[in-house]
Structure 1
Amino acid sequence: MFRKAILLLGVAVTCCLLWFAVYDYREAGPIARENLRGLELSLTTAIEKLAANDPSLETLHSFHPPDVAYFALVDRQGVYRFHSNHDLIGATVGRHSDQDISLLTRSETRVVLGTGERAYQFVSPVTLHGEPLALVLALHTYRADAVIRRARLNMTIVLGLVAVGWLLAVGLARYARRDERHREELARREALAKLGEMGAVLAHEIRNPLAGIKGFAQVIAAKPQETRNAAFAQSIVTEAVRLESLVNDLLAYAGNEPEVVADFPLADLLAHTVSLLQPDAVANGVTINWRCPADLLLRGNRDRIEQALLNLGHNAVQAMPDGGQLHVLAERSGKDAVVSIRDNGSGIAEEHRTHVFDPFFTTKSRGTGLGLALCRKIVEANRGSIMLQSRAGEGTVVTLTLPCAR
């Protein structure tokens, strides 16, 4: 959709530029003719005044405006009463011009001079000392045609810019498409690499509990009546639960469940989460302290956020096998709620901190490496962010930022 909008915008801009260039060029001709007409009227008035003040017309010989190619006065018989070329005075028009000169009507046309230059000729009826004459005025068009030349140059520049712009756009589009295909290929290879990594993790994690289940089951099958079979059966259940937990984590990470958004009090959620963590905390000698404003409401998927908090809480408890303090603090920060989970456990080594949110990365002997990756996915799906700070031997702080209810 975005590409189509850009394409339509480019087409619209191109059409506007082309219309402007063509319109400007088409208007240049009439503008040049109007400039020539205005100049012709001024010169005609000046010639009439000079001729009226000098019946001998001698003063007209000194009248040489730069835009005038020639001018002449013609009587009823078609004889040049005056011509800026002295040699033509007294000659008949028909022998020196193919133009139809009328004493009664105005006319204008382009003519070709003897030098090959194209000039603009005006014929205007004038009356000098009671005698009707025709004033023939030929003007150079170079200065007036500058408007046309400028418009033609502008149109050429616009057409060139449009052509270059489209060539650049096509080149950039091809480059962007090639870059997109390259990124898709990289993503595909990365996905295949992740898939291979996941396959290795699954092979390792599933094979170990399956070997135990198989061995215990074979012992029970060989001697079903022995008393120690109860312990073997319990081991089978433990390994099966471990497999079930692995499968649930994989489904939770890979799944795209529909988002169920609602407003809920964060204090109730933290209280319920702490109650679920309490048995493991007591077993490890960990004391849980938590604090949250009673009126702090979040907006998001309550069950998924609880799952993320439980994962983080279990990680914190497991990081303190010899006991310690787990602090869960929630507070408001503008339009967001900030939840920090702090422990004083073993911490995370510096070389591992940049990989803690990567799927299947783990430093535990019995772990899938999906816990923190799943937490980040849940938090980001709820329009929040997660950050981890840790130092080996000093503990870890995980900070969640989640949007508050409106």
Structure 2
Amino acid sequence: MFKKAILLLGLAVTCCLLWFAVYDYREAGPIARENLRGLALSLTTAIEKLAANDPSLETLHSFHPPDVAYFTLVDRRGVYRFHSNRDLVGTPVDGRSAKEVPLLTRSETRVTLGTGERAYQFASPVTVRGEPLVLVLTLHTYRADAVVRRARLNMTIVLMLVVMGWLLSFGLARYARRDERHREELARREALAKLGEMGAVLAHEIRNPLAGIKGFAQVIAAKPQESRNAAFAQSIVTEAVRLESLVNDLLAYAANEPEAREDFPLAPLFAQTVSLLQPDARAQGVGVTWRCPDDLLVHGKRDRIEQALLNLGHNALQAMPDGGLLQLLAERSGRDAVISIRDNGSGIAEEHRQQVFDPFFTTKSRGTGLGLALCKKIVEANSGSITLQSREGEGTVVTLTLPRAR
């Protein structure tokens, strides 16, 4: 839609420019003629006044405006009473014998001079001391023709600019399309690489539990009455639960986040999350503390946010196998609620910090790399954001920003 709008806008601008160029060129001719006519009328008035003030017409010989090629005064008998060329004064027009000629009405035409120049000729009746004469005024058309030439040049420039603009636009559009295809190809290759990586992770994660399940089941099948089969059966259950957890993580990451949200207090959610983390935390010697205002309400999907907090809590516990402190803190920040999950565990190496939210990226020997990626998806689906700060050997702080209830 945006591309069509740009194309229509370009066509509209092109039509306006072409119309303006053609209109300017077509108007140049009439404007040039009006300029010549106006100049001729002004000169006619000036010559008539000079002739009225000097009956001998000698003053007219010193009248040489730059636009005048020549001018004449002809009487009723068709004789030159005045001519810019003194030798023609007193001779009949066109060399014919003198005879009575009617006075001309005002007229204008184009004539060709002896030099081959195309000139503008203006004829108008004038009266000099009561005697009717005809003034024939021939003007150079340099300046008038320059108006037409300038309009033609402007039209040519506009046409060239329009053509160059469209050629440049087509070139840019082709380059943009090629660049878009290149990005699509890169994205496709990256997706294929991620798919291959996911396949490798899944193959590794699924194959190990299946091998254990298969081995323990074969032992039980061979000697069903042995006392140690109870431990083998428990191992089968453990590996099956591990496979179930992997499948649940995959389904959770692939699922579309629901749109329906609600307002809920954050403090009870913190209390429930800590109670679920306490058994594992006590087994590892990790202390868990939390602090959250009782009246802090968050707008979102409660169960999905709880899942994100549990994932982050388990990640923090895994980073503290030898004990430590896990803190869950919440506070207001403008219209948002800011949640921090802090641990003083092993931290994350600097070269891995930019990839921790990528799906299937993991540094653990037994892990899918979906935990943090799923947390990021859940938080962003609830109109929030998630960031991570960590120092190797000092611990990690994960910060969630979620919208508060309005």
The normalised TM-score by structure 1 is 0.91
Secondary structure of 2:143's match?
Answer: coil
Match of 1:403 in 2: 403
CA contact (8 A) 2:348 2:390 kept: yes
Task: Give the CA deviation at 1:94.
Answer: 5.0
Q: Is the 1:78–1:94 contact (alpha carbons within 8 Å) kept by the matching residues of 2? A: no
Contact residue 75 and residue 133 of structure 1 kept, 8 A: yes
Whole-Å Cα distance in 2 between the matches of residues 91 and 291 of structure 1? 121
**Aligned counterparts of 1:156 and 1:90: Cα–Cα separation in 2:** 50
Shift of 1:56: 1.6
Q: Which sits farther off after the overlay, 11-20 or 378-387? A: 378-387
Within-5 A mapping of 1:255-404: 255-404=255-404
Measured after TM superposition, the shift of residue 371 of structure 1 is 0.9
The 2-side partners of 1:33 and 1:56 are apart by 33
Give the distance between the partners of 1:391 and 1:281, measured in 2 at CA. 22
1:238-293 Cα shifts (integer Å, max 9, x gaps):
11111111112122223334433444443343333333323322333322222233
Report the CA distance between 1:331 and its aligned residue.
Answer: 2.1
Matched position secondary structure for 2:186: helix
CA displacement, residues 278-331 of structure 1 (integer Å, 9 cap, x when unaligned): 332233332222223344443444433332222111101221223222112222
For residues 284 and 46 of structure 2, what CA distance do their matches in structure 1 show?
114
Deviates more, 1:28-37 or 1:42-51: 28-37
What residue is the counterpart of 1:236 in the other structure?
Answer: 236
Does structure 1 conserve the Cα–Cα contact (< 8 Å) formed by 2:257 and 2:381? no
Residues 149 and 224 (structure 1), Cα distance of their counterparts in 2 relative to 1, 3 Å cut: same
Partners of 2:128 and 2:45 lie apart in 1 by 12
AA partner of residue 52 (structure 1):
A
The change in CA–CA distance for 1:64 and 1:219 in structure 2 (over 3 A counts) is: same
Instruction: Give the CA deviation at 1:102.
Output: 7.0
Deviation for aligned residue 1:66: 0.1
Counterpart of 1:248?
248
Q: CA deviation at 1:104?
A: 5.0
Within-5 A mapping of 1:153-302? 153-302=153-302
Q: 1:165: how far off?
A: 1.6
Indicate whether 1:22 and 2:41 are aligned: no
Shift in alpha-carbon separation, 1:303–1:154, aligned structure 2, 3 A: farther
**DSSP-derived class of the 2:225 partner:** coil
CA distance in 1, matches of 2:205, 2:61: 113
1:145 is aligned to: 145
**Helix, strand or coil for the counterpart of 1:369?**
coil
TM-superposition CA deviations, 1:77-101 (whole Å, max 9, x none): 33322221223333444569xxxx9
Deviation of 1:332 after TM superposition, in Å, equals: 2.5
Give a deviation string over 1:14-73, Cα, whole Å, max 9, x none.
222222222222222222222222212221111010010111211111110001111112
Distance in 2, Cα, partners of 1:24 & 1:263: 67
Partners of 1:152 and 1:300 in 2: CA distance: 68
Query: Which secondary structure does the structure 1 equivalent of 2:376 belong to?
Result: helix
Q: 1:191 to 1:121 in 2, by over 3 A?
A: same
For residue 134 of structure 1, what is the amino acid of its counterpart?
Answer: V
Contact 2:330 2:338 in 1 (8 A): yes
Q: Would the alpha carbon gap of residues 361 and 116 (structure 1) be closer, same or farther in structure 2, given more than 3 Å must change?
A: same
Q: Which residue of 1 aligns with 2:33?
A: 33
- For 1:248, give the aligned amino acid: N
Question: Relative to 1, partners in 2 of residues 1:396 and 1:70: Cα closer, same or farther, differing over 3 Å?
Answer: same
After superposition, the Cα gap between the structure-2 partners of 1:277 and 1:23, relative to the gap in structure 1 and judged at 3 Å, is farther
Identity of aligned residues (%): 86
Q: Provide the TM-score with structure 2 as the length reference.
A: 0.91
Distance 1:333 1:24 in 2: 63
Which stretch shows the higher mean deviation, 297-306 or 213-222?
Answer: 297-306
Task: Give the drift of 1:219.
Answer: 2.2
1:146-167, Cα deviation, whole Å (9 max, x unpaired): 2222222222222222222211
Deviations 1:199-234 (A, max 9, x none): 111111000101111112222222333343332222
> Please, which runs of 5 or more residues in structure 2 have no aligned partner?
none
Asked whether the equivalents of residues 257 and 378 of structure 2 are also in contact (C-alpha less than 8 Å), the reply is: no
Q: Secondary structure at the match of 1:303?
A: helix
CA contact (8 A) 1:111 1:118 kept: yes
Q: Distance in 1 between matches of 2:77 and 2:312?
A: 114
Q: Which moved more, 1:363-372 or 1:269-278?
A: 269-278
Amino acid paired to 1:337:
A
The total of aligned residue pairs comes to: 402
Whole-angstrom distance in 2 between the partners of 1:261 and 1:95: 107
Name stretches of at least 5 consecutive residues in structure 1 with no aligned partner: none
Separation (CA, whole Å) in 2 of partners of 1:103 and 1:292: 111
SS at match of 1:359: coil
